[in-house]
Amino acid sequence: MAVTLADVAARAGVSSATVSRVLSGNYPVADATRNRVLRAVDELEYVVNGPASALAAASSDLLGILVNDIADPFFGIIASAVQGELEGRAYGGPVPQKLAVVCNTGGSPERELTYLTLLQRQRAAAVVLTGGAVEDPEHSAALATRLRRLAAGGTRIVLCGRPPLEDAATAREARRGTSKRTASSAPVRSQGAAGAVLTVAFDNRGGAHALTTHLLTLGHRHIGYVAGPAERTTTRHRLEGHRAALEAHGGLDADRAERLTVHGGGYDRSSGYEGTRELLRRAPETTAVLAANDTVALGVCAALREMGLRVPQDVSVAGFDDLPFSADASPALTTVRLPLHEAGARAGQLALGTLPPPQDGMAAMGHELVVRASTAPPRAGG
Amino acid sequence: MAVTLADVAARAGVSSATVSRVLSGNYPVADATRNRVLRAVDELEYVVNGPASALAAASSDLLGILVNDIADPFFGIIASAVQGELEGRAYGGPVPQKLAVVCNTGGSPERELTYLTLLQRQRAAAVVLTGGAVEDPEHSAALATRLRRLAAGGTRIVLCGRPPLEDAATAREARRGTSKRTASSAPVRSQGAAGAVLTVAFDNRGGAHALTTHLLTLGHRHIGYVAGPAERTTTRHRLEGHRAALEAHGGLDADRAERLTVHGGGYDRSSGYEGTRELLRRAPETTAVLAANDTVALGVCAALREMGLRVPQDVSVAGFDDLPFSADASPALTTVRLPLHEAGARAGQLALGTLPPPQDGMAAMGHELVVRASTAPPRAGG
DNA sequence: CGCGGCGCAGTAAGCGCTTTCTACACTCAC
DNA sequence: GTGAGTGTAGAAAGCGCTTACTGCGCCGCG
């Protein structure tokens, strides 16, 4: 039924090997022959059989991207940037040659594992994992093992916006108060060597630090934090940055910090809404709220508005990420801009191998404090 | 190197055919044998070779989604919904079994064609095309032909948020003033039959009609339209709805309507910004602006604000789509809600064949006028 | 004039799976 | 007791491509 290489070969009067060589372009073919083949391809409207080609060549031109939620612009922007790198790498033209498989994991480690298997089944050339990892000893260990094995097997693995594998292991131990390492738990090296798991990291600590410092400088002393889910690395890192800033600015009252921190169930608007109600119930003296991210900040603002509090006159609000809508929100959000597009592009290049991997296997991205209308000095000076 | 079916078979003491049957589950296998095979699979950590399986079975478990821009929540939401349908269809569990290949076409018909070829090469089981089509006779004819051929070849094709193939042809003729059809240009039937191109359509005309009527009812008489690119069906349909409403409400001055319509280069914020400046230059009497969509509306508001005009006191603004951020914009946008998630889910079901195709091959989705703070009566009564 | 080398192109052996066809017990019904 | 029927599993033929390996002219050099 379908046109095959042999059909093209017959029409061009050559062998199928020659046709294959013309199409893959990695073997010298005389110009006259090439033209004949190309014409036959055109005339027959031949389309390569990808699976057959992948089987024979033991590699496919599929690249997987794992995201928490593709409907969230945070991930949409990263995915889009990764995709952008899949183009123009063609032998002979600025045409996309690889296909991106986008997988919604909803942030669940099980789903990540499942999709990893599916991607492995497809013999994907590379996999980019985005979004903070869940700090679940069981799953993250399983995930790390799988990733390392895949990487060792030749699949390029890039973590984008999640901590390097080692860090996760280290963190886990740190949380358990076990700083010494047994031989068996010594993390496998994930350095820049071939087959390594590469990382493109955001500076969540630094960003939260900058934001908190900004609020402190404005004069705020009662800064609430409507954080993301407690088990996510991103949440932890941002909280760490926040607390480090508090500490640097005249000591940190751990109990108070604890009371002023509310963990949401997710990174969505309603988490911000619910979280804010809880926060203000616990600590009505709050004059500023740091949100887990911009989307959450929208929910924070909505809740405050509903409670009759004005932003920023009564309460300042800050987001994180600087998504496109943040500048147009009401009021425009003070936030930290993460170079999402750049990070995605970098991850894509690393995944394709068009960018040499960094020395230590990790590329750190910067951040930028963006001050807009949602933050202002507290009303009564604190 | 990699574990193959034969390895599993050897370990389980059966033939590779049996292993294949156990894994595909579409052939009776004795329980004892099945368990032995399953154990071997586990022990060897066997992962099916997708390409090999696709080659032999002449079908893959890949589904393509063509979007203009995955970073745009409009498409992100649809893509996410389509993906949601790919799960839980498994023989034996609620596990994703199909993979979604998301392709950014940037709205370019050439890129659509390119990606279609890539997807065809992968032997994708289905392809969902989203976003308005470009009304370019050359490309859209080529695209229609390709789609019909693919559909006839067994690939399920679903158009989501773009007009059915026939409509495009009809529209093209209508625009050329050719209402009679020659035999050769008679559109192939795209009805509910097997191999047909299915459609999930939004009611762009109806939505724009409702929005315009809303503004007219408020008392506006100088309603500008910052539309999308002129060559897109979505733009045309929304404009048609707009003008129909004007007409229904006391006649339409064609010249004036023309003057009050500005076409942006895209559906992004800056198109709204630029378009508004142009519009107000042409027609300073404007008291209300309809935007191509919510993102454009954000740009419209920004431009107005910059010109010292308040929304909605001086100028009312309305968007389209009701994306998540619209309710939190400044001011909250009056808009038309399109059931993006539902449409995506429907498209996904149609693509998977889990939903019987509608009679005429087309499922029409509704819309809902959402009145928020960005529209109000004009200051001086019109 | 002969031969190594080179540039192209053909031959054919798989890649790992699915699936048809075949084979081998068994179980029943007569 | 035999033959048909049934349930289960194996053998083997591809699926359409890639890629050694082989082969054939032809050039240039000795």
Query: What are A264-290's pLDDT values in tens digits?
Result: 999 999 999 999 999 999 999 999 999
Looking at beta carbons, which residues of chain A come within 8 Å of B99? 101, 103, 115, 118-119, 122
Residue A224 Cα, gap to closest chain B Cα (Å)? 21
For residues B64 and B192, membership in a common domain is answered with yes
Say which residue the tokens 């109806």 belong to: B206
Average pLDDT, rounded, for chain B: 89
CATH number, position A230: 3.40.50.2300
Q: Which of A59, A63, A102 to mutate to test the interface with B (most CBs of B within 10 A)?
A: A102
pLDDT in tens, A29-68: 999 999 999 999 999 999 999 999 999 999 899 999 999 9
Confidence bin at B14 (pLDDT 50/70/90): very high
| Beta pairing class for B335-337 and B368-370 | antiparallel
Q: Is the pLDDT of residue B195 over 90?
A: no
| Minimum-distance CB partner of A80 among B104, B118, B332 | B104
Mutate to test the interface with B, among A3, A80, A112 (most CBs of B within 10 A): A80
Whether the beta carbon of A350 falls within 7 A of nucleic chain C: the reply is no
**Residue B6 approaches strand D within 7 Å at CB:** no
Output the distance from B96 CA to D20 C1' rounded to whole Å.
39
Tell me whether residue B68 is in a domain. Answer: yes
- A370 is a domain residue: no
CATH number of residue A18's parent domain: 1.10.260.40
Q: B275 with B296: CB under 8 angstroms?
A: yes
Q: 3-class SS at A111?
A: helix
Query: Residues B351-366: what's their mean pLDDT?
Result: 93
How many A-B residue pairs are in contact by the CB < 8 A criterion? 159
User: Predicted confidence band at B42 (pLDDT cuts at 50, 70, 90)?
Assistant: very high
Q: Mean pLDDT, chain A, as a whole number?
A: 89
Contact between residue A272 and residue A300 where contact means Cβ atoms under 8 Å apart: yes
B88 with B354: CB under 8 angstroms? no
Q: What is the pLDDT of residues B301-329, one digit of tens each?
A: 999 999 999 999 999 999 999 999 999 99
Which range (A336-345, B22-31, B159-168, B222-231) has the least confidence? B159-168
CA atoms within 13 A on the CB side of A189: 7
Cis bond upstream, residue A312 (ω within 30): yes
- Which residues make Cβ contacts (< 8 Å) with residue A362, sequence separation at least 6? A164, A198, A199, A200, A201
Q: Look at residues A247, A267, A269, A268 and name the one whose alpha carbon lies nearest to residue A257.
A: A247
pLDDT score, position A186: 38
Contacts of A50 in chain B (CB under 8 A): 51, 54, 60, 121-123
User: Of the ranges A95-99, A105-109, A167-171, A288-292, which one carries the lowest mean pLDDT score?
Assistant: A167-171
Which position has the higher pLDDT, B119 or A134? B119
Asked if strand C comes closer than 7 Å to A194 Cβ, the answer is: no
Please give the Cα distance from B226 to B238 (Å, whole number).
11
Work out if A24's Cβ lies within 7 angstroms of strand D. Answer: yes
pLDDT at B202: 97
| Structural domain boundaries, residue A117 | 62-202+345-351+355-364
Asked whether the bond before A339 is cis by omega within 30 degrees of 0, the reply is: no
The verdict on residue A26 lying in a domain is yes
For chain A, the farthest-separated pair of C-alpha atoms sits apart, in whole angstroms, at 88
pLDDT band at A160 (very low <50, low <70, confident <90, very high): very high
**Residue type for position B139:** H
pLDDT the model gives residue B317: 98
Q: Is the CB of B37 under 7 A from strand C?
A: no
The residue that minimises its CA distance to C1' of C15 is A56
| Cβ-proximal residues to A262 (8 Å cutoff; 6+ apart), any chain | A224, A225, A226, A227, A275, A276, A278, A279, A282
Q: Are residues A150 and A185 in the same domain?
A: yes
* Cα–Cα distance measured from residue B299 to residue B302, given in angstroms and rounded to the nearest whole number: 5
Same domain? A193 vs A209: no
* Shortest Cα–Cα distance, A77 to chain B (Å): 5
User: Protein footprint on strand C: which nucleotides are under 7 Å from a CB?
Assistant: 7-12, 14-20
A17: tokens are: 């090997």
The per-residue pLDDT for B140 is 84
pLDDT at residue B286 tops 80: yes
Q: Does the C-beta of A284 come within 7 A of strand C? A: no
Q: What are phi and psi of B372, to 5 degrees?
A: -125, -150
pLDDT at A175 over 70: no
Task: Calculate Rg over the CA atoms of chain A.
Answer: 25
Residues 6+ apart with CB under 8 A from B161: B78, B130, B131, B132, B200, B201, B202, B234, B338, B343
Q: Specify the range with the lowest mean pLDDT, choosing from B153-157, B202-206, B252-256.
A: B252-256
Q: Which of A84, A104, A331 sits opposite B80 (nearest CB)?
A: A104
Residue B194 forms part of a structural domain: yes
Residue located via tokens 């990893």: A116
Question: Which among A181, A115, A180, A124 has a CA at the least distance from the CA of A151?
Answer: A124
- What whole-number percentage of chain B has pLDDT above 70? 89
Counting residues of chain B whose pLDDT is more than 90, the rounded percentage is: 76
Closest residue by C-alpha to C1' distance, nucleotide D18: A56
Q: How much is the pLDDT for B189?
A: 41
Nucleotide nearest to B15 (CA to C1'): D10
pLDDT for residue B7: 96
Q: Residue B308: left if φ>0, alpha if ψ -120 to 50, beta else—which one? A: left
Q: pLDDT at position B133, please?
A: 85
- pLDDT given at position A253: 84
Q: How far is A78 from chain B (nearest CA, A)?
A: 8
Q: What is the rounded distance in angstroms from the CA atom of residue A2 to the CA atom of residue B366?
A: 40
What is the spatial distance between Cα B167 and Cα B187, in angstroms, rounded to a whole number? Answer: 9
Which percentage of chain A shows pLDDT scores above 70?
89
Confidence band, pLDDT 50/70/90 cuts, at residue B174: low
pLDDT in tens, A60-74: 999 999 999 999 999
Q: Reply yes or no on whether the pLDDT at A167 is more than 70.
A: no
For residue A90, give every residue at least 6 positions away whose Cβ sits within 8 Å of its Cβ, in sequence order, or none. A96, A97
Residue of A340, A350, A67, A63 whose CA lies nearest to A196: A350
Tokens encoding A254: 């751990």
- What pLDDT is recorded for position A180? 42
| A256 or B294, which is more confident | B294
Q: Residue A21: which pLDDT band, with cuts at 50, 70 and 90?
A: very high
Residues B216 and B194 in one domain: no
Domain shared by B63 and B198, yes or no: yes
Chain A residues closer than 8 Å to B70 by CB: 70, 76, 79-80, 83, 102
B196 neighbors B151 (Cβ within 8 angstroms) = yes
Closest nucleotide to A3, Cα to C1': D16
Q: Which residues on A lie below 8 Å from B297 (Cβ)?
A: none
Domain presence at residue A372: no
Half-sphere exposure of residue B12: CA atoms within 13 angstroms, side-chain side: 28
The answer to whether the CB atoms of B122 and A62 lie below 8 A apart is yes
What confidence tier does B188 reach under pLDDT thresholds 50, 70, 90? very low
Q: Is residue B108 part of a domain?
A: yes
> Is residue B348 one of the residues assigned to a domain?
no
Nearest Cα residue to A60 out of A151, A154, A158: A154
Count up the domains in chain B and report the number. 3
Residues B187 and B234 in one domain: no
Nearest nucleotide (C1') to the CA of residue B57? C18
Spanning CA of B14 to C1' of D3, the rounded length in angstroms is: 30
Whether pLDDT at A168 is above 60: no
CB contact (8 A) between residue A76 and residue B96: no
Record: contact B329-A325, CB cut-off 8 A: yes
Are the CB atoms for A119 and A105 separated by under 8 Å?
no
Whether the pLDDT of residue A91 is over 50: the answer is no
- The answer as to whether A381 is a domain residue is no
Q: What is the three-class DSSP state of B337?
A: strand
Lowest mean pLDDT among A172-186, B118-132, B152-166: A172-186
Q: What is the rounded distance in angstroms from the CA atom of residue B277 to the CA atom of residue B267?
A: 16
Do A10 and A97 share a domain, yes or no?
A: no
pLDDT confidence band for B250 (50 / 70 / 90): confident
User: How far: A39 CA to D29 C1' (Å)?
Assistant: 39
Q: Which residue in B has a C-alpha nearest to residue A57's C-alpha?
A: B51
Measured from the Cβ of residue B338, the count of other Cβ atoms closer than 10 Å reads: 25
B56 touches strand D (CB under 7 A): yes
A17 touches strand D (CB under 7 A): yes
- Give how far A8 is from chain B: nearest CA, Å: 16
Cβ distance A47 to B121 less than 8 Å, yes or no, reads yes
Mean pLDDT for A355-376 is 95
Q: What is the pairing mode between strands A288-291 and A223-227?
A: parallel
The type of residue at A198 is L
If asked whether residues A249 and A328 sit together in one domain, one would say yes
| A22 and A121 inside one domain | no
pLDDT of residue B227: 97
**A97 and A165 within one domain:** yes
**The tokens 């599929």 sit on which residue?**
A62
Over 90: is that where the pLDDT of A88 sits? no
Per the model's pLDDT, the better-predicted residue between B229 and A380 turns out to be B229
Report which of A48, A106, A98 is spatially closest to residue A229, judged by C-alpha positions.
Answer: A106
The answer to whether residues A319 and A308 belong to one domain is yes
Contact A242, A208 (CB under 8 A): yes
- What's the confidence (pLDDT) of residue B382? 44
The string of pLDDT tens digits covering residues A221-269 is 999 999 999 999 999 999 999 999 999 998 778 888 899 999 999 999 9
* Contact assignment for A328 to B332 by CB distance below 8 Å: no
The pLDDT value given to residue A382 = 44
- Tell me, what amino acid is at B234? T
Instruction: Calculate how close chain A gets to B326, using CA atoms only, in Å.
Output: 9
pLDDT of residue A87: 81
Q: How many CB atoms lie within 10 A of CB A358?
A: 16
pLDDT tens for B77-135 read 999 999 999 986 444 445 667 999 999 998 888 899 999 999 999 999 999 999 988 88
Q: Verify that B272 and B159 share a domain, yes or no.
A: no
Residue B348 CA and nucleotide D29 C1' are separated, in Å, by: 69
Chain B residues lying within 8 Å of A99, measured CB to CB: 64, 101, 103, 115, 118-119, 122
